[in-house]
Structure 1
Amino acid sequence: MHWIEPYIATYGSIALFITIYFESFGAPVPGESILIAASLLAQQGTLSLPVMLMAVFLAAILGDSTGYLIGHFGGRKVLLRFCPYVKLTPERLEKFEALFEKYGSGIVITARFFAILRQLNGIMAGALKMHWLKFVAANIIGAALWTLVWGAGPYYFSAFFRSLL
């Protein structure tokens, strides 16, 4: 985590926005690690916590929304093309669509907290035909929770953990 801090300290919330945006629509970027480092830098006074949290929250929403659009307009074709390679039959794909129809909001909210799922979250929701308004609502809730847990959590709880040492 020490290698990340100089970049965040130099480029601030703009670097966080760009990193979280790209991670949220599929790029393999260490978003949580960067967010935790930024939170600790905010505690030291290097970054503004409210500005940092807003940048991360907006980037997470916009990144997942970009992923949704990618999935909606092109993801299904890619899924159908590569289904045989990953043993995903059209029947299984229909089951996934039904799963997203029934539990899509919960999936989108909780996927935010798991690496790889976080990156594929929007793309899969779009490719599996999740209704856009349901996706947006779940995306906002998931982004808010994730931002608060990994952005504000270390900021407020690091002093507590230091007192235990």
Structure 2
Amino acid sequence: MHIDQWLEAIPPLSVYLIVGAVIMIESLGIPLPGEVVLVSAALLTLSHPSLSPLWVGVVASAGAIIGDSIGYLIGKTGGQRLFAWAGRKFPKHFGPTHIANAERIFNKRGMWAVFFGRFIAFLRILAGPLAGSLRMHYPKFLIANALGGIAWAGGTTALIYYVGEVAEKWLGAFSKYGLVAAVVIGAVVFVVMKKRLGREHKSDAEAPKQEETAA
């Protein structure tokens, strides 16, 4: 069962809680499909009247901000030991190369790395713990974290929702126009074929008369 089908089968309140929880846990530094869950929930609001895209964006933003903040505290207290353990458990996400690249980006970009890291898969997982381990000033981290979380979660939800609405209307209009075009083409073909058959029938009827006249 796909994630969107799974979400559709549960109550709206549970959808909000799952979206917020998955994104929060991902932001702690645990690799989960947060973006997939967010996009699926945003698409689900198009067909589920009890789901609000506004609340999906709100809970997703809250999950991102809270999860990153907890991840920051974990990184600040655990530091490199945490990354060494995570590298053994999740080498595809926390391998030495991943950590080194992320540290280089954070040391060079600071708050911008936290903000834009929310839009990049592996930085989204590493942002909180890495900022904590590098002792980034927490107020600066919190500002960048909050702005990035709202821009990513709220922006993604709004984009998916409105693009889905436009696509739905366009496809609906396309279907109507297609039906009208099919009816018109069918009518034209019918008239043309009727005239053509009429001419053929007339020709067939005149042929014996011409033969009689010639005789």
Choose the corresponding residue for 2:39, options 33, 36, 40. Answer: 36
Aligned residues: 156
After superposing on structure 2, the runs of 4+ consecutive aligned residues of structure 1 that deviate more than 3 Å are 76-82, 85-88, 99-102
The CA distance in 1 between the partners of 2:121 and 2:78, in whole Å, is 23
Higher relative contact order (CA 8 A, sep 6+): 1
Give the equivalent residue in structure 2 for 1:48: 52
Q: Is the 8 A contact 1:64 1:121 kept in 2?
A: yes
Give the letter for the 1:110 counterpart: F
Q: Is the 8 A contact 2:60 2:154 kept in 1?
A: no
Q: Deviations along 1:40-81, whole A, 9 cap, x unmatched?
A: 111222412222211111100011111101100112344589
SS of residue in 1 equivalent to 2:119: coil
Choose the corresponding residue for 1:153, options 152, 159, 162. Answer: 159
Give the equivalent residue in structure 1 for 2:114: 108
Give the letter for the 1:160 counterpart: V
The CA distance in 2 between the partners of 1:70 and 1:38, in whole Å, is 29
Larger Rg: 2
The CA distance in 2 between the partners of 1:26 and 1:77, in whole Å, is 14
RMSD, aligned α-carbons: 2.7
How much identity, in percent, do the aligned residues show? 34
Give the equivalent residue in structure 1 for 2:18: 15
The CA distance in 1 between the partners of 2:15 and 2:145, in whole Å, is 24
- Cα distance, 1:28–1:79 mapped onto 2, change above 3 Å: closer
> Which consecutive residues of structure 2, in runs of 5 or more, have no partner in the other structure?
88-94, 175-215
The CA distance in 2 between the partners of 1:87 and 1:138, in whole Å, is 25
The CA distance in 1 between the partners of 2:20 and 2:97, in whole Å, is 36
The CA distance in 1 between the partners of 2:73 and 2:29, in whole Å, is 12
Q: Deviations along 1:100-157, whole A, 9 cap, x unmatched?
A: 4662110000010111110111011001111000000000000010012211110011
> Which consecutive residues of structure 1, in runs of 5 or more, have no partner in the other structure?
none
Question: TM-score, normalization: structure 2?
Answer: 0.64
